[in-house]
Structure 1
Amino acid sequence: MSNHEEEAVVRPLTLAWVRRQLDAGERIVRSDALPGGITAEMRRLTIRTRDGGTRRLVLRSFVDPFCLRYAEDSLNREADALTQLAGTGVTAPGLIAADPTAAQCEYPSLLMTHLPGRTVLADTGLEDRVHQLARQLVAVHALRPAVRPPEYTALTTADTVVPPQCADPAVWAAAIDVIRMPRPAYEGRFLHRDFQPGNVLFDVASAGTAGSRITGVVDWASVSWGPVDLDVAHCSAILAVLHGPAWGPRFAGAYEEAGGVLAAAGSERLYWQVRDALACSEEVRQVARPWREAGRTGLTTRVVEERLDAYVRALMDTPH
């Protein structure tokens, strides 16, 4: 059995739990490991329906010892988010069931519907996709949930930043000083908190072409309440590393063109932009691994670190 096949096998207790969530007469006929997961195992389950048709579900399970400490909070956030997103203008998976404390499964797990489409990480068609992403994020921030998710948590501190080997120490020291400053005041909004190309699905027929259509947004495990600048900064930083430093500022511009409103003061924008860019320094190697597995083999550790360094330098060189 290949590693991919082994990863696709659902553990006995979890399998029994999933079966209890199915309709009468339904059965699981296939399990496939989904690529791209960093914090959790992701599996696509094909279900044979009573009438002979099929439908698909997605199973998320937290199994990594480090990530297990966050599993209950993450799965509760995702379950709450999927419940509140149902019927809104933002397409997300539908919640089937959740076992955040592993009361019934081997590991904390969540079962949800499967959305059509796929992620697109190629440079081709990026200009159009950036505007699509910006419009989608504006729609996310426009949501007014009945119950607010938890306040956002900063993903880095001045003491945990990991400057790349290629970095200019003086520039990064100045960037670190930026996040030592008091946090700017902000008006809270509904945040995805990990909105980036790897968590947005596009129609398979149009993906990578002009006129592509977003079919849904996934991975709501970090949903939070906080400044929209933070979501924009995160997507900007990921785009800068994935496609090149110039795409970070271009996404922020596209967000405003789509009707989004960022912090008025340049110093406040810089705070959020730098905060998330520096947070990427701690995980950029880990983030790049699934990109390479998805075909972006040129995104070596050296390349992604050089791009992150160039993006941070660009942020610090921009007048504020």
Structure 2
Amino acid sequence: MSNHDEAAAVRPLTLAWVSRHLEVGERVVRTETLRGGITAEMRRLTIGTRGGGTRDLVLRTFVDTEHAEDCLNREAGALILLAGTGVPAPGLVAVDPTAARCEYPSLLMTHLEGRTVLDDEGLESRVPCLARQLVEIHALRPAERPREYVALTTADTFVTPKGADAAAWAAAIDVIRRPAPPYEGRFLHRDFHPGNVLFDASSSSPAAARITGVVDWAATSWGPADLDVAHCSTNLALLHGPAWGLRFAEAYEEAGGVLAATASERLYWRVRDGLAFSEEVRLVSQPWREAGRAELTTRVVEERLDAYVIALMDALG
């Protein structure tokens, strides 16, 4: 086996576990680290087949094992559910959520063609694609629902960015002190954003954007559609500017999605997600820089978050 880089090497027990789930005569011939992951190590495994060809799998490994079992069980369940639904998700090959056979909790899945696209160019075409895809996800009605969503951010855990608009943030904080609005439950990805969506890499025109896959289903939940829309909106606002955060909600409704009935209810979910980012700006901005968006320093992202919170309060407050 040859490694694309030293960090891509698969640990011995895990490699043996992977090998047990290959076809007879197959073996791992190459490994490559996939960038962009925050909570887990991601590796692309090239498998040599009996006929002399190759195919690819993806190995997801949680070195920080605190929430690994829950995340991997949920992701495995989601991938089983999504098989045959038309939502372009990986197929489950094997899972070891308790590291019974691997060095660390791991999941092996099929590899999807395509690439993440975080550039500003072509955004006008990608945003409607993202919205349509999310509407399709929310339309799923599984026989067994995933667990209810969890919102970790509270009015006492947010971090106000340096130089932020004090009045706008104080008003936003007051919004999430209120009880959560009633909602009609939907199947949620719960981490839907451009970094977890693959687009056709062969397309030569940004206007011909086509989604080839949606990945990272470890946070799958049941809850309000507004929550998934809010999360993607915040990511778009920080990647491309506040106007795109506002635009995504419009695109979602244009695609047939249904959001909360009142402005105050919509504001609640969007502000809650925006404030959640205040606690992890440094964490989420680093993978963007590694992916080529070098201008998205922690400070720049903080400024965009402040501008987005102001925009939300002006538009819906």
Please give the TM-score of this superposition, normalised by the length of structure 1.
0.96
User: In structure 2, how many angstroms separate the alpha carbons of the residues matched to 1:249 and 1:173?
Assistant: 20
Aligned to 1:49: 49
Does the Cα contact within 8 Å between 1:236 and 1:248 map onto a contact in 2?
A: yes
User: In structure 1, how many angstroms separate the alpha carbons of the residues matched to 2:298 and 2:276?
Assistant: 16
Report the Cα offset of residue 319 of structure 1.
4.3
Q: Following superposition of structure 1 onto structure 2, how do residues 67-86 of structure 1 map, counting pairs within 5 Å?
A: 68-86=65-83
Does the Cα contact within 8 Å between 1:155 and 1:276 map onto a contact in 2?
A: no
Report the Cα offset of residue 155 of structure 1.
2.9
Structure 2 residue 178 is matched with structure 1 residue 185:
no
Instruction: Classify the secondary structure of the residue corresponding to 1:210.
Output: helix
Aligned to 1:137: 134
Structure 2: unaligned runs, 5 residues or longer? none
User: In structure 2, how many angstroms separate the alpha carbons of the residues matched to 1:194 and 1:56?
Assistant: 24
| Per-residue Cα deviation, 1:121-170 (whole angstroms, up to 9, x for no partner) | 00000010000000000000001112111100003111110111121222
Q: Following superposition of structure 1 onto structure 2, how do residues 126-275 of structure 1 map, counting pairs within 5 Å?
A: 126-206=123-203, 209-275=206-272
User: In structure 2, how many angstroms separate the alpha carbons of the residues matched to 1:115 and 1:208?
Assistant: 20
Instruction: Classify the secondary structure of the residue corresponding to 2:258.
Output: coil
Aligned to 1:122: 119
Q: Following superposition of structure 1 onto structure 2, how do residues 7-46 of structure 1 map, counting pairs within 5 Å?
A: 7-46=7-46
User: In structure 2, how many angstroms separate the alpha carbons of the residues matched to 1:38 and 1:4?
Assistant: 20
Among residues 246, 269, 274, which one is paired with 1:277 in the alignment? 274
Instruction: Classify the secondary structure of the residue corresponding to 2:192.
Output: coil
Instruction: Classify the secondary structure of the residue corresponding to 1:50.
Output: coil
RMSD: 1.2
User: In structure 2, how many angstroms separate the alpha carbons of the residues matched to 1:6 and 1:71?
Assistant: 24
User: In structure 2, how many angstroms separate the alpha carbons of the residues matched to 1:301 and 1:257?
Assistant: 33
Report the Cα offset of residue 99 of structure 1.
0.5
User: In structure 2, how many angstroms separate the alpha carbons of the residues matched to 1:173 and 1:97?
Assistant: 47
Report the Cα offset of residue 291 of structure 1.
0.7
User: Residue type matched to 2:214 in 1?
Assistant: V
| Per-residue Cα deviation, 1:210-241 (whole angstroms, up to 9, x for no partner) | 01110010000000000000000000000000
| Per-residue Cα deviation, 1:86-132 (whole angstroms, up to 9, x for no partner) | 00120100000001111111111000000000000000000100000
Q: How many residues align?
A: 315
Instruction: Classify the secondary structure of the residue corresponding to 1:69.
Output: coil
Cα distance change of structure 1 residues 53 and 136 upon mapping to structure 2, 3 Å threshold? same
Instruction: Classify the secondary structure of the residue corresponding to 1:201.
Output: strand
Among residues 296, 300, 312, which one is paired with 1:299 in the alignment? 296
Structure 1: unaligned runs, 5 residues or longer? none
Instruction: Classify the secondary structure of the residue corresponding to 2:256.
Output: coil
User: Residue type matched to 2:95 in 1?
Assistant: A
User: Residue type matched to 1:72 in 2?
Assistant: E
Cα distance change of structure 1 residues 184 and 88 upon mapping to structure 2, 3 Å threshold? same
User: Residue type matched to 2:41 in 1?
Assistant: E
Q: After the TM superposition, which parts of structure 1 deviate over 3 Å for at least 4 consecutive aligned residues?
A: none
User: In structure 2, how many angstroms separate the alpha carbons of the residues matched to 1:276 and 1:319?
Assistant: 15
User: In structure 1, how many angstroms separate the alpha carbons of the residues matched to 2:178 and 2:239?
Assistant: 28
Cα distance change of structure 1 residues 207 and 41 upon mapping to structure 2, 3 Å threshold? farther
User: In structure 1, how many angstroms separate the alpha carbons of the residues matched to 2:163 and 2:107?
Assistant: 40
User: In structure 2, how many angstroms separate the alpha carbons of the residues matched to 1:227 and 1:281?
Assistant: 22
Please give the TM-score of this superposition, normalised by the length of structure 2.
0.97
User: In structure 2, how many angstroms separate the alpha carbons of the residues matched to 1:13 and 1:230?
Assistant: 39
User: In structure 1, how many angstroms separate the alpha carbons of the residues matched to 2:182 and 2:218?
Assistant: 25
Cα distance change of structure 1 residues 223 and 311 upon mapping to structure 2, 3 Å threshold? same
Instruction: Classify the secondary structure of the residue corresponding to 2:74.
Output: helix
Structure 2 residue 110 is matched with structure 1 residue 94:
no
